[in-house]
Structure 1
């Protein structure tokens, strides 16, 4: 081949490879810079500490760069025999790192900024429920987690037999949604 043919071949190769290389480089850089919040669904074995089902949120909000490291569960304000008799005052509770570390993480979801905001709205709705908002049979920590999962597009069993068994309920959700994992 002569010199002109080599230059032509080099130019064709460059035109072919450059866009591919540029796209690969941009996707790699954008993947590293992408912020995200991850929601992890937990259960805590029964005991005298509540809630037994809760969600952690960790990461960064893509749109604002806000760092997120918190958790939310729903429980009775005062745990007493009264919860066995009917509804009592409820509250959203955030637990310390020790409690979270002694709990069972089951699956995680990467949230868009819109999903993150929807989840925070869910937390605020439950936080601001008036009156006796906690009911062992109708509105407990498992119900809170179930509604959060449904809000994020997961299938849930609203007729589950596990509303008083947080770990079993979360495992049931994983069966219904087989792509879930940590």
Structure 2
């Protein structure tokens, strides 16, 4: 029974070696787990950073697209407003040209009417002058005719009495030859007028 005593010491050495091996294994496992955990954390951080960067890129792109859309809308609105202003300006120009043409036409018509009225007035004035001249000529002719008629009547009344008076007084023999011829010429002239 004496030689069997060292066996427990060998068993405890094995147990100690196993415990040490297990501790080493556990430490290695803990180290591996910690390394895996750190790697996972780094990977998660990298993924998170990439995701955040991607989100920032998406936000920047969306903001840029929105800004571009706003700029396009503004440009389109400005172009439409410019086209509307140009159309309005063209319509105003056409309206001004139409009004100017209508004003010119009215002015031309007024001038034509004025010329026609002036021509009618000139024609009426010429006709009135001709009528006045004709009336004056007729009145003058009538007046001359009345005067000639009156003189003829006076001569018809005067000559017989004058001849009778000359015959009664016998003055025809008292006039000398030249005076007699002058008297005869005057008498013939007066007789010719009465005829």
Provide TM-score, normalisation by structure 2.
Answer: 0.25
Higher-Rg structure is 2
Which structure has more RCO (C-alpha within 8 Å, separation ≥ 6)?
Answer: 1
Between Structure 1 and Structure 2, the one with more strand by share is 1
